[in-house]
Amino acid sequence: MGTSHLVLGELTDYLTGQTLPDTHDERLIQKISRFVVEDKGFSKNEILTRRKLSLSVGGKTGTVTVHFIIRIDQVSFAVIIYGPGSIVTRQRPTLSIARLFGDSVIPFAVITNGKEANLMETKSGKIIGKDLNSIFSKAEALALLKNINLETLSNERREKEQRILYTMEILTENECKEFVCKLC
């Protein structure tokens, strides 16, 4: 049985104050949120948490949880996605989330397992940082935002990104629920 399903009790969400199930994964998510506030200088109200991104592909629907969206002056600057295990396999869906959430492409995307992290430039998909410390501070983000032109995706590109995200996240999650998790 994976440790994400083991409930150890309850904990209080650092950003919202909500009571949540205490799991190993949730403890790492809380660590990330404290890091972004306490070490990187963002205020709690600049971080949207646990937002849902709805997908519709070929008549089938699903939702993906976006763990953190950092917003500065009402502009979405970066998404941070938590995923246990290998972060390499989660890079592409993380880029799709940053490209699909909202009206314009979110310039930066981070995938982390709470220990390792890859910071990516969303437009190109290029990795520009390889650990949690590479996440921009608020001061760095403010400076970068001055020179960023927010882009939108064409409908055709949005559809492709949805297909990628649906396949890599929704279908994988459904497979786990239907086969692997039934064994636990």
Of 102 and 39, the structure prediction assigns the larger pLDDT to: 39
Amino acid type, 112: T
Note the pLDDT tens digit of each residue in 44-95: 999 999 999 998 888 888 889 999 999 998 999 999 999 988 899 899 999 9
Hey, where are the domains in the chain?
A: 10-183
Tokens of 104: 């314009």
pLDDT at residue number 174:
46
pLDDT one-digit tens code per residue, 83-140:
988 899 899 999 999 999 988 999 999 999 999 999 999 999 999 999 999 999 999 9
pLDDT tops 60 at residue 23: yes
For domain 10-183, the CATH architecture is Alpha-Beta Complex (3.90)
Whether the CB-CB separation of 9 and 22 falls below 8 Å is answered with: yes
Q: Are strands 47-57 and 19-21 parallel, antiparallel or unpaired?
A: unpaired
Which of 80, 25, 75 is CA-nearest to residue 49?
A: 80
Please report the pLDDT score of residue 170 as a whole number.
Answer: 64
Is the pLDDT score of 12 beyond 50?
Answer: yes
Mean pLDDT of 31-44: 97
- Report if pTM > 0.85: yes
Q: What is the pLDDT of residues 151-177, one digit of tens each?
A: 999 999 999 998 888 887 764 554 444
Distance CA 109, CA 71 (A): 13
Tokens representing 183 are: 């064994």
Amino acid at residue number 182: K
Residue type, 79: V
Tell me the torsion sign for CA atoms 178, 180, 183, 184. negative
Return the SS3 of 90: helix
Nearest-angstrom CA–CA distance, 43 and 37 = 6
